[in-house]
């Protein structure tokens, strides 16, 4: 009875419909577009037993959010780590120092001197900000232009001493936000839109701006 009912429930398919169905099945469907292409996973380092080196991953490393697109450094050289572009140290297969990015960063560091500590024994702002880990560069679209977002921070003090920047390669221009000594400074005269993009991509915890609880001794090492 079950077999008879199943046969009665089947309806013949007209020849034309059957041909259309077969044709549609033969056409390959487009694959979903990739939204991110990440490089090889970073090597895990035991920071308790091994000395810290520039580029070592840390649990408190600044991690950008709300990416527009995350290419690999094979696709775009600017997609490598910030400390690679301005210092030459590499943690991927294609990172190289970039003279234009370095010049723009050095110009920004002239303004960052306001966050320095007046102590000759304390490493420079530049040295401390490049001592910690960072995420690969990520392109952002702003005003019809591509700006690359980067972060840098002091080793083991990424939460309290950090830099978030946007770099425009055609203009070789960099703007950014520096957090140091429990204060935040805007560097490079960023526009309101650029500030909003930096704040949205790397939100700043208001608790880090409590100067009454600021301990400057945390900035004395790298």
Q: What is the pLDDT along the chain (222 residues), one digit of tens a residue?
A: 443 444 344 444 444 444 444 444 444 444 333 333 444 444 433 333 333 334 444 444 443 444 466 788 788 889 988 999 998 666 767 768 899 999 999 999 988 876 566 667 778 888 889 999 888 899 999 999 999 999 999 999 888 899 999 999 999 999 999 998 888 999 999 999 999 999 999 998 888 888 776 765 454 443
Rounded-to-integer distance, Cα 200 and Cα 65, Å: 8
pTM above 0.85, yes or no: no
> What token pair was written down for 214?
């600021």
Place of tokens 């810290």: 52
Structural domain boundaries of the chain? 77-219
Q: What is the pLDDT of residue 24?
A: 43
Q: Select the CATH number that applies to the domain covering 77-219 from these four: 3.40.50.720, 3.10.20.340, 3.30.1360.120, 3.40.1420.10.
A: 3.40.1420.10
Q: What is the pLDDT of residue 114?
A: 64
Cα–Cα distance list, 220 to 113, 120, 121, 177 (Å): 15, 10, 8, 20
Q: What is the pLDDT of residue 2?
A: 43
Three-state SS annotation for the chain = CHHHHHHHHCCCCCHHHHHHHHHHHHCCCCCCCCCECCCCCCCCCCCCCCCCCCCCCCCCCCCCCCCCCECCCCCCHHHCEHHHHHHCCCCCCCCCCCHHHHHHHHHHHHHHHHHCCCCCCCCCHHHHHCCCCCCECEEEEECCEEEEEEEEECCCCCCCCEEEEEEECCCCEEEEEEEECCEEEEECCCCHHHHHHHHHHCCCCHHHHCHHHCCHHHHCCC
Q: What is the pLDDT of residue 68?
A: 61
């Amino acid at each position: 009875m079950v077999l008879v009912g199943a046969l009665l429930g089947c309806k013949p398919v007209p020849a034309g419909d059957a041909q259309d169905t077969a044709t549609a099945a033969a056409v390959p469907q487009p694959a979903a577009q990739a939204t991110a292409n990440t490089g090889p996973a970073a090597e895990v380092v035991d920071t308790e037993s091994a000395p810290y080196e520039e580029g070592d991953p840390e649990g408190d490393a600044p991690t950008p959010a709300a990416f527009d697109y995350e290419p690999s450094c094979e696709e775009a050289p600017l997609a490598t780590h910030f400390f690679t572009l301005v210092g030459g140290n590499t943690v991927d297969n294609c990172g190289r120092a970039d003279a234009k990015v370095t010049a723009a960063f050095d110009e920004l560091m002239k303004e960052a001197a306001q966050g320095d500590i007046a102590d000759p024994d304390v490493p420079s702002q530049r040295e401390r900000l490049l001592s910690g880990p960072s995420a690969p560069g990520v392109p952002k679209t702003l005003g019809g232009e591509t700006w690359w977002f980067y972060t840098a921070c002091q080793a083991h003090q990424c939460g309290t001493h950090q830099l978030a920047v946007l770099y425009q390669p055609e203009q070789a221009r960099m703007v950014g936000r520096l957090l140091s000594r429990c204060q935040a400074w805007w560097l490079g005269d960023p526009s309101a839109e650029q500030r909003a993009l930096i704040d949205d991509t790397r939100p700043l915890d208001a608790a880090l701006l409590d100067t009454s609880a600021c301990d400057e001794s945390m900035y004395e090492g790298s």
